Structure 1
Amino acid sequence: MAILVRRLFKIAVFIGLLLLSVRSIPLSNEWSLAETRAWIRVSDWLDVDDPENLYFAVWLTIEVIVAAGAYIAIMKLWRHCQRLRSHA
């Protein structure tokens, strides 16, 4: 039972970090002409209909990577603190 609770807690921590990270995605970003051309070229190359969908997917991927990095750092720090507390 304790293992299940720990796993659910870890999942909740990751989801919380992901939600905090996703809130920073600039949804209504105004692109310059050069940025617009670049996003249109890349979306055409990847066969994506709307460049804004590609923009959102790229940002979402970045935010998932950031949340995973923060999660890994928090878990390593937690284990380190637990080891220090058990040796004291």
Structure 2
Amino acid sequence: MATLVRRLFKIGLFISLFLLSIRYVPPNNVWTESESNAYWAASDWLGVQDPRDFYFVFWVTIELIVAALAYVAIMKLWRCYRMK
């Protein structure tokens, strides 16, 4: 039972970190000319119709990586704390 609770806690922690990082995705609706060209080129290269879809997936991927790194850091700090 304790293992199930630990796993659920870890899943909840990761999901909450991910949602917290998603909360702060910059809602930049106005792109500069160079940003617009870069997003158009990347979306054309990947075969995505709308560069805004590519923008959203790009930032969600970055936020997923940030959440994973924060999760790993929290787990390592917790292990260090428990060892003392």
TM bucket by the smaller chain?
A: over 0.9
**TM norm structure 2:** 0.95
**Whole-Å Cα distance in 2 between the matches of residues 32 and 50 of structure 1?**
17
Runs of 5+ in structure 2 lacking a partner? none
Q: Percent identity?
A: 57
Aligned length in residues: 84
Provide Cα deviations, 1:9-47, integer angstroms capped at 9, x if missing partner: 000000010000001112343101111111111101110
**Whole-Å Cα distance in 2 between the matches of residues 49 and 29 of structure 1?**
17
Q: CA RMSD in A?
A: 0.8
Structure 2 residue aligned with 1:26? 26
**TM norm structure 1:** 0.91
Provide Cα deviations, 1:31-77, integer angstroms capped at 9, x if missing partner: 01111111111101110000000001010000000000000000000
Structure 1 residue aligned with 2:56? 56
Tell whether the 8 Å contact from 1:21 to 1:63 is kept in structure 2 after alignment. yes
Structure 2 residue aligned with 1:78? 78
Superposition misfits of 4+ residues, deviation over 4 angstroms: none
**Whole-Å Cα distance in 2 between the matches of residues 26 and 3 of structure 1?**
37
Runs of 5+ in structure 1 lacking a partner? none
Structure 1 residue aligned with 2:43? 43
Higher CA-based Rg: 1
**Whole-Å Cα distance in 2 between the matches of residues 30 and 5 of structure 1?**
44
**Whole-Å Cα distance in 2 between the matches of residues 15 and 42 of structure 1?**
29
